[in-house]
Amino acid sequence: MHVLVVGGGGREHAIVWALSKSPKVTKLSCAPGNAGIAALAQCVPVKATDVEGMVAWARENAVDFVMVAPDDPLALGMVDALEAAGIPAFGPRANAAVIEASKAFSKDLMAKYHIPTARYQTFTELEAALAYVREQGAPIVVKADGLALGKGVIVAQSVEEAEEAVRAMMADKKFGEAGAKVVIEECMTGPEVTVLAFCDGKHLVPMPASQDHKRAFDGNQGPNTGGMGSIAPVACYTPDLAQVCMETIFQPTVDAMAAEGRPFQGVLYFGLMLTPQGPKVVEYNSRFGDPECQSVLSLLESDLMDILLACRNGTLDQTEIRWKAGAACCLVLASGGYPSSYRKGLPITGLEEAGKTAVVFHAGTARNDSGELVTGGGRVLGVTAVGGNLDEAIRGAYASAEHIHFEGMQFRTDIGRAF
Ligand code: AMP
Ligand code: GLY
């Protein structure tokens, strides 16, 4: 099969890497891909959000199956467009991707189907939102309704901070239209866990639990980022908790989406908080998390292509999915200054040596005019190691990363030990 993966970050490198091991996949393409992906797949110069361009390229190049990885093309209806053109595709249709694209939609869904989450109200009027914040008091959480690159959430420790966030979103339009509607919700406490699940519209199979590290600096300090590292599995997510989540959150969500006429086919991302009152949903995403994907797929033993086909064809319940017994750790190496401004085009060395003991997934990398590998984004590489246990995996990732160098390289030293 000729398989096309849409996207070009560390997550997509991990997906391409996993698919490259499948005997079913005879040709791999990736749009737009990156310098690391280019070693495993043909990189195609079509933007991930170019729905028409993607359909045309897939048609002209006899693509048999498309895996749409990022949230934007999913929300834009890329899967709908591909399927309408007769090209089988993995990922939710636009009417199901809305579970990530609109926080107001997902909160209303949870309320209607009694899925545990933080208490909330949705506002489109500035004054009403401000009044609610004053009435509820702090701490309180203010969220832009739409997609805001993971930056549209403010956990406010004071009423003033919450008011400022509401004004920034609703009056100053800091996130554009994404902030025209805001969700204001109760502040929950407890460890955060990500559970990714394969879904075929009816059935779901959770993957090993994982944990992202969103803050830029050690000890969960500093600004939020796209994610500075991940581990899988997570010790505090016990089999008992997994059972509770399956019964109160996972299957009810898949059933709710089907009941709403929005069957979810793809990877459903459950961002959970293990609160003293039990597990609750912080957020849903309609795709693999990045960098959770890099750790989780490193543990997959089964053929990823078989699973994607089963999701697309509604036969997930007949598909066995096996995982390695150990643990995985993905350490993100970022550009100096990230998530604020940073330089690009800096030469990267040591990847060959690092690749002997870990898999180095590329995120923001590129080739310069002389063909040298250089930095090309905020998050540059995700050094991912697997071990017999979490300690081994963490040590493996850090040991491998010691070989890698680029000017200003920035990383956390406490991945897997910060919670
Ligand atoms: P989200 O984009 O909704 O995942 O929010 C980003 C981060 O904000 C989450 O990973 C949590 O750490 C935090 N957060 C979001 N909602 C809440 C909440 N209701 N209570 C406490 N923290 C929250
Ligand atoms: N790692 C968080 C996300 O992908 O949204």
Q: What percent of the chain has pLDDT over 90?
A: 93
DSSP notation for 155-197: EESSHHHHHHHHHHHHTS-TTGGGGSSEEEEEPP-S-EEEEEE
Number of helical H runs and strand E runs in the chain: 14, 22
82 closest CA partner among 103, 99, 105, 65 = 65
Q: Quick one: pLDDT at residue 177?
A: 79
Least confident of 30-39, 140-149, 202-211, 392-401: 140-149
- pLDDT tens digits, one per residue of 383-419: 999 999 999 999 999 999 999 999 999 999 999 998 7
Task: Give the ligand at the shortest distance from the Cα of 382.
Answer: 2
Going by CA atoms, what residue is nearest to atom 2 of ligand 2?
289
Question: 258 by DSSP, 3-state: which?
Answer: helix
Proximal ligand: closest to the CA of 282: 1
Residue 261 Cα to ligand 1 midpoint, Å, equals 28
Report the CATH architecture of 192-318.
2-Layer Sandwich (3.30)
Neighbours of 112 (CB within 10 A): 11
Long-range contacts of 53-59 (CB under 8 A, 24+ apart): 54/4, 54/6, 54/78, 54/81, 54/82, 55/81, 55/82, 55/85, 55/87, 57/4, 57/31, 58/4, 58/82, 58/85, 58/87, 59/85, 59/87
CATH class name, domain 2-94: alpha beta
- Atom 16 (ligand 1) nearest CA: 282
Question: Are domains 125-180 and 327-401 of this chain identical in fold?
Answer: no
**How big is the CA angle at 204 (ends 382 and 318), to the nearest 5 degrees?**
110
Atom of ligand 2 nearest to the CA of 292: 1
Please state the pTM of the whole predicted model. Answer: 0.94
Q: pLDDT for 229-288, tens place per residue?
A: 999 999 999 999 999 999 999 999 999 999 999 999 999 999 999 999 999 999 999 999
Mind listing the pLDDT tens digit for each residue in 72-86? 999 999 999 999 999
Q: Which residues have C-beta atoms less than 6 Å from ligand 1?
A: 118, 141, 143, 150, 153, 155, 185-188, 192, 214, 271, 282-283
The ligand 2 atom at the shortest distance from the C-alpha of residue 230 is 1
Superfamily of domain 327-401: Phosphoribosylglycinamide synthetase, C-terminal domain (3.90.600.10)
Atom of ligand 2 nearest to the CA of 289: 4
Given this model, what pLDDT does residue 382 score? 98
Angle at 361 between CA 294 and CA 92, to 5 degrees: 50
| pLDDT for res 151 | 67
Residue 309 CA, chain-centre distance (Å), reads 20
125-180 CATH choice from 3.30.1490.20, 3.90.1520.10, 3.40.1350.10, 3.10.20.440:
3.30.1490.20
In this predicted structure, what is the pLDDT of residue 176? 78
Ligand 2 test: best mutation among 207, 212, 213, 295, most atoms within 8 Å of CB? Answer: 212
pLDDT digits (tens, 9 = 90+) for 174-219: 887 777 889 999 999 999 999 999 999 999 999 999 999 999 999 9
Q: Is the pLDDT of residue 148 over 70?
A: no
Closest atom of ligand 1 to 282 CA is 16
CB 321 within 8 A of CB 205: yes
Q: What is the mean pLDDT of residues 305-319?
A: 98
Specify whether the CB–CB gap between 15 and 42 falls below 8 A: no
Q: Which helix (H) or strand (E) holds 285?
A: strand 278-285
Atom number, ligand 1, closest to the C-alpha of residue 185: 19
Q: What average pLDDT score do residues 289-307 get?
A: 98
From 71-85, 135-149, 289-303, 392-406, the region with the lowest mean pLDDT: 135-149
Residue nearest to atom 3 of ligand 2 (CA): 289
The answer on pLDDT for 291 being more than 90 is yes
Q: Which atom of ligand 1 is closest in space to residue 152's alpha carbon?
A: 2
Domain boundaries, the chain: 2-94, 125-180, 192-318, 327-401
| Closest ligand, as measured to the CA of 226 | 2
What residue owns the CA closest to ligand 2's atom 4?
289
